[in-house]
Structure 1
Amino acid sequence: MRSFVLLAAALPLAQSIRIIQSNDDGWAEANLRTFFDVLNSAGHQVVLSGPAENQSGTGSNDAAPKQVDADGCIHASCPGKSPPTGANATDPRLNYVNSFPVTSIKTGIDVTAPKLWNGAKPELALTGPNVGGNVAVQVPFSGTVGAATYAAKTAQIPAIAFSGQTGNPTAWNAPTPLHSKVYADLALNITTTIINSGKPYLPANTYLNVNFPAVTETKCNKPSEFKYIFTRINTGVLSSRDANWCGSTRLPWEADVILLRGSSCYVTISPGDANDKSTVNDAAVQTQIINKLKPLLSCLP
């Protein structure tokens, strides 16, 4: 299988930083674990804190963790009746929280990561890649987005939510799917670009909503095929004008780019308002983010 780490090779190596990871599909999901491995190989200090079970569609729900039920964690990754929180027996950086994605990332930020980092907290929060896209009306209900917006708004940690159109739930110890490898390296490319742009990595109370297109054995499976498009989460018909980018003051709608033009291998990156999960409608803030992502971004034809 070809290596997709080459995707970021054109960019300078990012400095090593502290990263907290989570998702809503469960701590033992292949997409999340593959991204963990790629971030670790890139030299970052990574702590994963994800839900014990699939918590897709739970938005920003938050509740105290409870004892794991008799069936155990997702993909048989912990025994039945396990404690409310726990770690992999051989790697304390891999952690489950038997509650919602927001609770999972909050526990990682406030408790788990500081214990492993001598009291330090994360510098960047990365959620996903989600199994399935998070586009338009899906965004407010996504636990992957909910965890990212908690980090950006409440914990004041820059955050990126990643989602991919291809895939089904896959265990961490199953053969790694092609799409998981592709999405992990695309996500690393965006992460590296943001880190290389310098602190603050993102403006306050903002997050990035990133969606990857479908991946197949014959299409959208080589680094050279992907282009990154700066988009809006919602259409913006009644919003003020966007940043002046690609010859327009109205950014394209991510649903149009990722769904209707998905065969073109476009990755959408949308600036999100962590207060309500919609598009950041401040053109000046959009411009700040565009300037950070310029090494990656392309314009639609």
Structure 2
Amino acid sequence: MRAQFLLSALPILGAQGARILQANDDGWAELYIRSLNEALNEAGHDVVLSAPADNQSGTGSSDKEPSPRSDACEYDSCAANSGPVGSNSTNTRLNWVNSYPATSTRYGIDTFGPQIWNGEGPELVVTGPNVGTNLFLAVPFSGTIGAAVYASHTAGIPAIAFSGASTGNLAWNTSPVPARSAVYALLATQLTEAVLASGTPYLPSEVFLNVNFPEITDDCNGPANFKWVLSRINPGTFSDPDTESCGSTRLPTETSVIDAGGCHISVSVGDATDKTTAPAEKQAVVLQKLGSLLTCLE
């Protein structure tokens, strides 16, 4: 199931092609990020990928200069002794960095992107989809989140972190592409286009979106099956009220959204300064931007 075969399932949201930088923590040759790369390109965006040479899951916001490699990249996607950074031999928009996810994002913003975009940087940074969810207690340790937070907090570029509950690491050239990779790619493209269509600034400052997809099942197997729910990262027992949504000033936690079943996707507005839930006034901006896409938890 290739991503382009599913593009017709997405609503036309009116977004113009944008300069998008991709990153992740599972590695540049992981299938999920490559399926999303394909979907974003098919949607007309100007995409550059910059991700770790190997799986760097659980490295949070670690950032250090890349060192030369002595062995091949994951899935033999680069040769041994290839140096500290590199690019696909036939597509210089696909790049690897022998370091952490945040470092890969930094190189994408400062080096790889401007080389492609005539000196300009990305308008939006998209990380993942991560292989596995990034919910609540996992958020501070996730390299996928760390990459998004680097973009938002350090570089001042709006960022979205995607994660999917269906697991199983696969190489970029797996054939046929499993439904889970193609569907996650299309869902991520749908939300990305909704954010872009909402106009600049795409997100409030110091904010990232933490998006978690449920498992792909017989009932949840195509973009039209899914429902998007505004959520929060951490429980709000002692927190200030959230923005009012679905008749309440307390948003459901992203964990409760995923656990509820029913093909619900959690969309949390994260605070890029500490990786917790952003305050109500910033949630309200996102709610207004994405209102036509969001639904209440049933």
TM above 0.5, one fold? Answer: yes
> What is the match of residue 293 of structure 2?
296
Structure 1 position 95 matched with structure 2 position 91: no
Q: Do the aligned partners of 2:264 and 2:297 also contact (CA within 8 Å) in 1?
A: no
- Separation of aligned partners in 1, 2:105 and 2:198: 24
Q: Do the aligned partners of 2:35 and 2:181 also contact (CA within 8 Å) in 1?
A: yes
> What is the match of residue 4 of structure 1?
6
- Separation of aligned partners in 2, 1:165 and 1:12: 26
- Report the AA paired with residue 146 of structure 1: G
Q: Do the aligned partners of 2:152 and 2:206 also contact (CA within 8 Å) in 1?
A: yes
Post-superposition offset of 1:27: 0.2
> What is the match of residue 58 of structure 1?
59
- Separation of aligned partners in 2, 1:223 and 1:268: 15
Post-superposition offset of 1:219: 2.3
Query: Which is worse superposed, 291-300 or 11-20?
Result: 11-20
**SS of 2:242 mapped into structure 1:** coil
Q: Do the aligned partners of 1:130 and 1:163 also contact (CA within 8 Å) in 2?
A: yes
**SS of 1:4 mapped into structure 2:** helix
TM-score where L is the length of structure 2: 0.97
Please, which runs of 5 or more residues in structure 1 have no aligned partner? none
Structure 1 position 200 matched with structure 2 position 201: yes
Post-superposition offset of 1:7: 3.5
Q: Do the aligned partners of 1:7 and 1:186 also contact (CA within 8 Å) in 2?
A: no
Post-superposition offset of 1:250: 0.2
- Separation of aligned partners in 1, 2:165 and 2:244: 29
> What is the match of residue 174 of structure 1?
174
> What is the match of residue 165 of structure 1?
165
- Identity over the aligned pairs, expressed in percent? 51
> What is the match of residue 275 of structure 1?
273
Structure 1 position 214 matched with structure 2 position 212: no
Post-superposition offset of 1:13: 3.1
Aligned-residue CA RMSD (Å): 1.0
Post-superposition offset of 1:80: 1.1
**SS of 1:297 mapped into structure 2:** coil
- Separation of aligned partners in 2, 1:161 and 1:223: 18
TM-score where L is the length of structure 1: 0.96
Post-superposition offset of 1:6: 3.0
Post-superposition offset of 1:4: 2.7
- Separation of aligned partners in 2, 1:205 and 1:8: 29
Post-superposition offset of 1:17: 0.8
Post-superposition offset of 1:209: 0.1
> What is the match of residue 75 of structure 1?
75
- Report the AA paired with residue 271 of structure 2: D
- Separation of aligned partners in 2, 1:84 and 1:97: 6
- Report the AA paired with residue 85 of structure 1: V
Post-superposition offset of 1:82: 1.0
> What is the match of residue 21 of structure 2?
20
- Separation of aligned partners in 2, 1:69 and 1:26: 17
- Separation of aligned partners in 2, 1:12 and 1:241: 31
- Separation of aligned partners in 2, 1:129 and 1:7: 19
1:284 corresponds to which of 261, 281, 286: 281
5 Å-filtered alignment, 1:215-294, equals: 215-216=216-217, 218-258=218-258, 260-261=259-260, 263-280=261-278, 282-294=279-291
- Separation of aligned partners in 2, 1:167 and 1:6: 26
Query: Could you give the per-residue CA deviations for residues 256-293 of structure 1, whole angstroms, max 9, x where no partner exists?
Result: 111x21x310010000000011100x212111010111
- Separation of aligned partners in 2, 1:222 and 1:90: 32
- Report the AA paired with residue 269 of structure 1: V
> What is the match of residue 189 of structure 2?
188
Post-superposition offset of 1:35: 0.2
Runs of 4+ in 1 over 4 A off after TM superposition: none
Aligned pair count? 295
Structure 1 position 142 matched with structure 2 position 142: yes
Post-superposition offset of 1:8: 2.1
- Separation of aligned partners in 1, 2:61 and 2:93: 24
> What is the match of residue 86 of structure 2?
86
- Report the AA paired with residue 283 of structure 2: Q
